[in-house]
Structure 1
Amino acid sequence: MILMNEIPDRFWGLFRSINRSTYIEALLRINEEYEYSNYFLSREVCLQVLDEYFNQKRFVIWQDELEDEADETEPPAFRVLNWLLRSGWLRKVDDYASMTVHIVIPDYAAVMIEAFFKLTTDEEDETQIYIQNIYAILFSLKNDPRASIGLLNTAYVNTKRLNKTLQDMLHNMDKFFASLLEQKAYGELLKDHLEGYVEEIVKKKYHILKTSDNFYLYKNDIKRWISSMREDVSWMEEMSVRSRSKVTAADISEKLDQIERGFDGIEHRIANMDKEHSRYIRATVTRLNYLLNQEDNMKGLVIRLLNHLSDAEDQEAAIQETGNFMNLSQVSILSEHALYKKRKPRSVFKETLLPDEESVELSSEEILNLNRLKSRYSKKEIESYLDSHIENGRMEVTEGTVTTAEDFEMLILAYDYSTRRKSIYAVEDPEPELIDNGRYRYPRLVFVRRKEL
């Protein structure tokens, strides 16, 4: 039976109602008593449960679309129960033998109430339940001769649910990154981390995956059983004969493959959770260190200045105002030496003047270290530069190759890259002649692509 076809139209009025939260709380209380009373409640018990709850908490119940003026004079418990009965969330069953009116929860409403319960409470960890169910089902399939194909379908459903639960856990970890940057004080961030992330994610979810009855405790046995079932052709044929529906051995093998692929997905999601956990811990430590030292740390002060400038409505005026207050002669801003030193007499200057040192040509490694170019260009960019100049497998450096400072830097980096073992390029002539185009002086190199690569 498709439950959607059983839902009356007025049922959805709860989500539009101004008393929505009151009705949901009432349903949860009735459902709690409903389970305790073996799923059978009288109207009097429902009214008693609601009356006790409304006495504990004060609620304002506004007139709803299904109510009339006479309903406003009724007590809150009567009003709420009558509204839930009219809208189809609850149903009356008359027992004429005992002259009693029973209140039951329809199947479609029970599904919604279970969702409300999960949204309003800290649900227990479901990963253990699903993995233990899969373990028990496959154990029964392998050892119990009465087991049928229905157990295999149940194991597949539990595998999908376990994957969905882990994926939800992984997605819920993202919200902690957003709250990380919202905290402006060290104490607030530490409290949010300890009471939020550690309590909700680490202790209740992530920690369970790594300790006690975790996934890895059952994984190897389950995979071994799946492999042995797939190889046991006689067992699969016996299962297909025992099945009432037309299930072949190929169908059973495909279902086993789906369960195994599901376990591969579970391992992948747990690995992603490990990465997210490590990334969040690193980000938290960095943020805590920044908030703790931002007043004393030059980097923290610069970040605060940039944030202030970006938040200003008139950024040009803010920059001008900041420049008027900056003292560029402070030692901590520019260098360890003062900007101005008193000049000594010319005679002293001549005596202490050292002879001109003969200029020494720097090596490529020294130039790289001096200009710190290694961090400016990646390996892929250097290879792209060489690829763009290659013709017939060769790149010949000429007077027109270097015209700007960037060209000069890329040529140096290309030469440095070609000397490495794993480079896909090499220099043909180790001692080329020099080129002087008036602005730059550099060797006439010839780059070729390595044949072995």
Structure 2
Amino acid sequence: MKQNKKLMEEIPDRFWGLFRSVNRSTYIEALLRINEEYEYSNYFLSREVCIQVLSEYFAKKRYVIWQDELEDELDTLEPPATRVLNWLLKTGWLRKVDDYASMTVYIVIPDYAAVMTEAFLRLDSEDEDETQIYIQNVYAILFSLKNDPRASISLLNTAFVNTKRLNKTLQDMLHNMDKFFASLLEQKTYEDLLRDHLEGYVEEIVKKKYHILKTSDNFYLYKTDIKRWIAAMREDTEWMEQMSRRSGGKVSAADIAEKLDQIERGFDSIEHRISNMDREHSRYIRATVTRLNYLLNQDDNMKGLVIQLLNHLSEGEEQEERIREVGEHMNLSQMTILSEKSLYKRRRPKADFTGNLEAEEEAEELSREEILNLNKLKNRYSKKEIESFIEENMEEGRMEVTDGSVRSGEDFEKLILAYDYSTRRKSLYRVEEADGEPEMIESGGYRYPKLTFIRRKS
């Protein structure tokens, strides 16, 4: 802790200017190139080599370097490689070391800057995933503890630290899956969503991270041995006393047993997190397939068309006018109208078994226009309007249909709907049964039966 505090005190104030700079990405890429050459050259670079490395890098890419707040007019006249190197030296990300014996100026990366550069490298790297590294470290450490007589208790602490880091890495992976759910609704076309899924989720999560937990060389392969070794160490009291003696009595056998329990509980937590990742992975796949199906069939699917209609009605400032215009052409008062199950298909009549059996022609199905007209007619008038039509023509609880009952097409439609309404169990009215077939009335171009509606008894 004291060493870390000392490093914090060494950081110059200008050091943090990189994160506020408009050239931030350029400076970070330059640091990564210098760090790569720094490792290759055994951590010893001259100023000339740094300028050469940056010159070659800038020559291969398109870039723009804006004037920074720490630069003056003379700095902007320098070549890009020299200009960036001078800025990194000025802000403390790099440091000059003069070798007077060889008359050479060397460039080194300070300890505090090396920590930040390592963080940039991890963000930019596509190397082996951390989950694999941590699980292999725990596996190797416990194997050494069990089989190497020279192993000390410090290795057990290292195994516990790696277990905690593995738990933290898995939790970060789980939390970062949320951004893929958010991107599902951002894609407006089937092609964009499929590309985002294959190049984003499959490449970044499945191939680089998730597969490590699910393939043959995975966490469970190591977990079985690790748990078996922990159980064997916990039961081996002689081994724990021997480890306690190697620590000079600073760590008791009970402390060792507690540390083994912590590692085992850590692996139980890892299994729990992997189970959560499985669940989130399945949720994302289901959501992606649903969204892909919607984007693929939205022009043919009834739900897709309804969603498009609602989106159209909610856009812009003239919503009321659009709603009124749509309302003149569609009746959306009942959900059954929006379902394909509401389309009526006429049944074939029953065969006449009392006489000669003859092949009957199948009744012609209603056309699409006729079906829409039926639905439109059925939902044009509400139940209150039908009841009012019957009440207005009633006298002493009876409505007798006469040649004057129908004066317009509206009355004719209401009469048909009144008869349909009277056949329902919860209707307030019913049609009085007559002997034989009802008499037919022809009036005003309409033909309808002579019916009598009466009020049902409560």
Q: Please say if 1:17 is aligned against 2:21.
A: yes
Alignment correspondent of 1:49: 53
Map of 1:278 onto structure 2: 282
Structure whose alpha-carbon radius of gyration is higher: 2
Which amino acid letter does the alignment assign opposite residue 281 of structure 2? Answer: H
Larger mean CA deviation between 236-245 and 183-192 belongs to 236-245
Shift of the 87–139 alpha-carbon distance from structure 1 to 2, 3 Å rule, reads same
Work out whether 1:236 is the aligned partner of 2:240.
Answer: yes
Aligned to 2:326: 322
Residue 205 of structure 2 corresponds to 201
Distance 1:80 1:329, change over 3 A: closer
How far off is 1:123 after superposition?
4.1
User: What secondary structure sits across from 2:69 in the alignment?
Assistant: coil
My pick for the range that moved more, 331-340 or 170-179, is: 331-340
Correspondence for 1:362: none
Q: Tell me the distance in 2 between the aligned counterparts of 1:59 and 1:223.
A: 53
For residues 320 and 154 of structure 1, do their structure 2 counterparts lie closer, same or farther at Cα, with a shift above 3 Å needed?
A: same
Residue 267 of structure 1, CA deviation:
0.4
Deviation at 1:321, TM superposition (A): 2.6
Aligned to 1:88: 92
Residue 247 (1) aligns with residue 251 (2): yes
Shift of 1:325: 3.0
Report the counterpart of residue 367 of structure 2 in structure 1.
none
How do 1:118-137 residues align onto structure 2 when only pairs under 5 Å count?
Answer: 118-137=122-141
The residue matched to 1:325 in structure 2 has which SS? coil
Aligned partner letter, 1:251:
D
- Could you say what secondary structure the match of 2:105 adopts? strand
Determine the C-alpha separation between the residues in 2 that align with 1:126 and 1:247: 30
Could you tell me which residue of structure 1 aligns to residue 262 of structure 2? 258
- Distance, in Å, in 2 between the alignment partners of 1:260 and 1:304 is 54
Alignment of 1:111-190 (within 5 A): 111-190=115-194
Deviation at 1:4, TM superposition (A): 1.6
* Alpha-carbon contact 1:47-1:77 (below 8 Å) kept: yes
- Cα distance in 1 for partners of 2:249, 2:320 equals 77
Gaps of 5+ in 1: 347-352, 360-437, 440-453
Partners of 1:244 and 1:68 lie apart in 2 by: 61
Kept in 2, the 8 Å contact 1:29–1:50? The answer is yes
Q: Which AA in structure 2 matches 1:292?
A: L
Report the equivalent of 2:412. none
The CA deviation string for residues 26-74 of structure 1, in whole angstroms up to 9 with x for no partner, is: 1011001011111111111111101111222243323323333332222
Whether contact under 8 Å (2:33, 2:53) holds in the other structure is yes
Q: Which of 76, 82, 88 is equivalent to 1:72?
A: 76
Letter in 2 for 1:285: V
User: Does residue 66 of structure 2 align to residue 62 of structure 1?
Assistant: yes
Q: How do 1:331-370 and structure 2 match up within 5 A?
A: 333=338, 335-336=343-344, 338-339=374-375
TM-score by length of 1: 0.72
Paired residue type of 2:239: W
Q: Judge which range, 303-312 or 220-229, deviates more.
A: 303-312
Name the CA distance, whole Å, in 2 between partners of 1:69 and 1:193: 47
Following superposition of structure 1 onto structure 2, how do residues 269-418 of structure 1 map, counting pairs within 5 Å? 269-313=273-317, 315-326=319-330, 333=338, 335-336=343-344, 338-339=374-375
CA distance in 2, matches of 1:211, 1:329: 53
Aligned to 2:37: 33
Relative to structure 1, is the Cα distance of residues 189 and 62 closer, same or farther in structure 2, using a 3 angstrom cutoff? closer
Inter-partner Cα distance in structure 2 for 1:319 and 1:121: 54
Q: CA deviation at 1:328?
A: 7.3
Structure 1 CA distance, aligned partners of 2:182 and 2:320? 30
Q: Distance in 2 between matches of 1:244 and 1:48?
A: 54
Query: For residue 56 of structure 2, what is the amino acid of its counterpart?
Result: E
Aligned-pair Cα RMSD in Å:
3.0
Rounded Cα–Cα distance in structure 2 between residues aligned with 1:37 and 1:328: 75
CA contact (8 A) 1:312 1:318 kept: no
- Give the whole-Å Cα distance in 1 for the aligned partners of 2:86 and 2:41: 21
Which of 224, 230, 250 aligns to 2:228? It is 224
- The one-letter code of the counterpart of 2:286 is R
1:327 deviation in Å?
Answer: 6.0
Render the CA deviation track for 1:277-304: whole Å, top value 9, x for unaligned: 1111111111111112211221221222
